[in-house]
């Protein structure tokens, strides 16, 4: 079964012009074109359009969306990851709604405001004390300033990159890839580059320090690997302790070879 471009525009709440533009830039090709020149879309095309609209909802631009779609061709896998993120957002928004509702009722009724509950779902600094304890106040301040200075689309793109990195780690671990293999070491390289791009981390601060900086990054990367295994909060990002152990071993080999 397929649908005409007019049908898709109506169902998806978009326009035929937008769909034609997506076709022109190679973002969403119709499954076939009729003899009259009309575009028609099948089920696979609809799935692709849903992914595009989800990513647009995160504030990503079309070039970034195109790259994301190219990086993750498996629609089911990508949608599974996006669904998990949406559930997290749903939980966060539900907590915000409950918090604001409670405040509103207190304001209207002249009741007592519960300060402890007012900001449930708003906190983006929940790891502040932990970061400052591990790496110092300057590390947290730099990272917080960097995050606050990013636009919505930049934050969404960074989250997408982080999610893709985690998914690739899990896939490699489940596939039984050896930590010292070319494939695993390529992911480790991406991981270190990802860390280096976050201001305030020892990896970022070590840039331009020569050999001394390399030693700092090596110790940091190796220590993070150990922390991924030891702390369940981090281990779950890599599929559990077994996956985190694979990440630790791979990062250790990468650090010894390259840092």
The verdict on pTM exceeding 0.95 is no
**pLDDT in 10s for each residue of the chain, 259 residues:** 889 999 999 989 889 999 999 999 999 999 999 888 889 999 999 999 998 988 887 667 788 788 888 877 788 887 787 777 777 777 777 777 777 777 777 777 766 555 445 445 544 555 555 555 555 666 667 767 777 777 767 777 787 888 888 889 999 999 999 999 999 999 999 999 888 887 777 677 665 555 555 677 888 888 888 888 887 777 888 888 899 999 999 999 999 998 7
Tell me, what's the pLDDT at 137? 67
Domain boundary among 14, 42, 58: 58
Pick the last residue of a domain from 11, 40, 58: 58
Residue 19 sits in which domain range? 3-58
Question: Residue 37 maps to which CATH number?
Answer: 1.10.1660.10
Confidence at residue 149, expressed as pLDDT on a 0 to 100 scale: 77
The whole-angstrom separation of Cα 66 and Cα 51 is 11
Q: Which CATH number does the domain housing residue 157 bear?
A: 1.10.490
Decide: 41 and 49 in contact? Cβ < 8 Å.
yes
pLDDT at position 116:
47
Under 8 Å between Cβ of 12 and 53: yes
Please state, in angstroms and rounded to a whole number, the distance separating the CA atoms of residues 20 and 25.
Answer: 9
pLDDT in the model for residue 135 = 52
Residues near 118 by Cβ (< 8 Å), separated by ≥ 6? 99, 102, 103
Please, what is the angle between helix 62-71 and helix 152-174, to 10°? 0
Confirm whether 25 is domain-assigned: yes
Q: Are strands 32-33 and 3-4 parallel, antiparallel or unpaired?
A: unpaired
- Is residue 77 domain-resident? no
Quick check: is 126 in a domain?
no
Do the domain assignments include residue 98? no
In angstroms, what CA-CA distances link 87 with 50, 124, 154? 17, 17, 21
Write down the pLDDT at residue 170. Answer: 92
Classify the C-alpha dihedral 24-152-201-185 as positive or negative. negative
pLDDT on residue 118: 42
Distance of CA 251 to the CA centre of its chain: 20
Q: Which of 58, 78, 93 is the last residue of a domain?
A: 58
Residue 22: the pLDDT is 94
The dihedral region occupied by 74, where left means phi > 0, alpha psi between -120 and 50, and beta the remainder, is beta
What residues form DSSP beta bridges with 9? none
- Residue bearing tokens 């860390």: 195
According to the model, what pLDDT value does residue 42 have? 93
Task: Answer yes or no: is 192 within a domain.
Answer: yes
Please, which residues have CB within 8 angstroms of residue 1's CB and are 6 or more apart in sequence?
42, 43
Residue 119 falls inside a structural domain: no
Instruction: Check residue 231 and give left, alpha or beta (phi > 0: left; psi -120 to 50: alpha).
Output: beta
Taking CA 167 as the corner, what is the angle to CA 88 and CA 197, rounded to the nearest 5 degrees?
85
Among all chains, which residue has been given the structure tokens 């949406």? 86
Give the phi and the psi of residue 227 in degrees, each rounded to 5: -70, -35
Domain membership of residue 206 (yes or no) is: yes
16 within some domain: yes
Question: In the chain, how many domains are there?
Answer: 2
Give pLDDT, residue 122: 47
Backbone angles phi, psi at 208, to 5 degrees: 85, 5
Q: What is the pLDDT of residue 194?
A: 86
């Amino acid at each position: 079964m397929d649908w005409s471009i007019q049908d898709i525009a109506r169902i998806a709440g978009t326009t035929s012009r937008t769909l034609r533009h997506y076709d022109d830039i190679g973002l969403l090709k119709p499954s076939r074109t009729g003899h009259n020149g009309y575009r028609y879309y099948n089920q696979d095309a609809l799935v692709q359009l849903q992914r595009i609209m989800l990513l647009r909802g995160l504030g990503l631009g079309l070039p970034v969306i195109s790259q994301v779609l190219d990086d993750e061709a498996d629609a089911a896998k990508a949608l599974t990851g996006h669904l998990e993120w949406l559930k997290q957002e749903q939980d966060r928004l539900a907590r915000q709604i409950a918090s604001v509702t409670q405040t509103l009722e207190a304001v209207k009724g002249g009741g007592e405001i519960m300060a402890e509950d007012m900001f449930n779902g708003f906190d983006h600094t929940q790891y502040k004390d932990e970061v400052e304890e591990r790496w110092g106040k300057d590390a947290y301040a730099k990272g917080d300033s960097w995050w606050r200075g990013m636009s919505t689309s930049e934050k969404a793109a960074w989250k997408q990159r982080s999610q893709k990195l985690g998914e690739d780690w899990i896939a490699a671990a489940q596939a039984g890839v050896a930590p010292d293999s070319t494939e695993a070491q390529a992911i480790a390289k991406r991981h270190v580059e990802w860390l280096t791009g976050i201001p305030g981390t020892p990896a970022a601060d070590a840039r331009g320090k020569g050999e001394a900086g390399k030693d700092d990054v090596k110790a940091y990367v190796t220590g993070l690997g150990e922390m991924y295994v030891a702390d369940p909060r981090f281990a779950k990002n890599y599929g559990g302790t077994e996956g985190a152990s694979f990440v630790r071993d791979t990062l250790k080999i990468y650090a010894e070879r390259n840092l």
